[in-house]
Structure 1
Amino acid sequence: MAELNSLQDLGQATGVTAGSAQASQPAHVRKVDAQGRSYATGKRKDAVARVWVKPGSGKITINGREFEKYFARPVLQMVLQQPIVAAARAGQFDIVATVAGGGLSGQAGAVRHGISKALTYYEPELRGVLKKGGFLTRDSRVVERKKYGKAKARRSFQFSKR
Structure 2
Amino acid sequence: MSEQTTANSLSELKTLVAGTPAGAGSEAAPVREAKRDQFGRSYATGRRKNAIARVWVKPGKGEISINGRSAGKYFARPVLRMLITQPFLVADRYQQFDVYCTVVGGGLSGQAGAVRHGLSRALVNYEPGLRAILKKAGFLTRDPRVVERKKYGKAKARRSFQFSKR
State the TM-score bracket (shorter-chain normalisation).
Answer: 0.7 to 0.9
| Correspondence 1:56 to 2:63 | no
| Correspondence 1:86 to 2:86 | no
- What CA distance in whole angstroms lies between the structure 2 residues aligned with 1:103 and 1:19? 51
Match of 1:150 among 144, 151, 154: 154
Match of 2:48 among 25, 39, 44: 44
Offset of residue 156 of structure 1: 1.6
Match of 1:129 among 123, 130, 133: 133
Q: CA offsets, 1:82-132, max 9 Å, x none?
A: 000100001111100100111111111100000000000000000000011
Aligned residue for 2:27, secondary structure, equals helix
- Matched-pair identity in %: 67
- What CA distance in whole angstroms lies between the structure 2 residues aligned with 1:52 and 1:20? 39
- What CA distance in whole angstroms lies between the structure 2 residues aligned with 1:70 and 1:154? 34
| Correspondence 1:21 to 2:11 | no
Offset of residue 18 of structure 1: 7.7
- Structure 1 alignment gaps of length 5 or more: 9-16
| Correspondence 1:118 to 2:115 | no
Select the structure of larger CA radius of gyration. 2
- Which of structure 1's runs of 4+ aligned residues deviate more than 6 A? none
What code does the residue aligned with 1:29 have? E
- What CA distance in whole angstroms lies between the structure 1 residues aligned with 2:50 and 2:94? 28
Report the number of matched residues: 148
Match of 2:39 among 19, 24, 35: 35
What code does the residue aligned with 1:57 have? K
Offset of residue 161 of structure 1: 3.1
Aligned residue for 1:21, secondary structure, equals coil
Q: What's the Cα RMSD here?
A: 1.9
- What CA distance in whole angstroms lies between the structure 1 residues aligned with 2:47 and 2:30? 24
Q: 1:18 to 1:36 in 2, by over 3 A?
A: closer
- Structure 2 alignment gaps of length 5 or more: 1-5, 8-12, 14-21
Aligned residue for 1:98, secondary structure, equals strand
Offset of residue 57 of structure 1: 1.0
- What CA distance in whole angstroms lies between the structure 2 residues aligned with 1:155 and 1:18? 57
Aligned residue for 1:22, secondary structure, equals coil
Offset of residue 32 of structure 1: 0.8
- What CA distance in whole angstroms lies between the structure 2 residues aligned with 1:160 and 1:79? 46
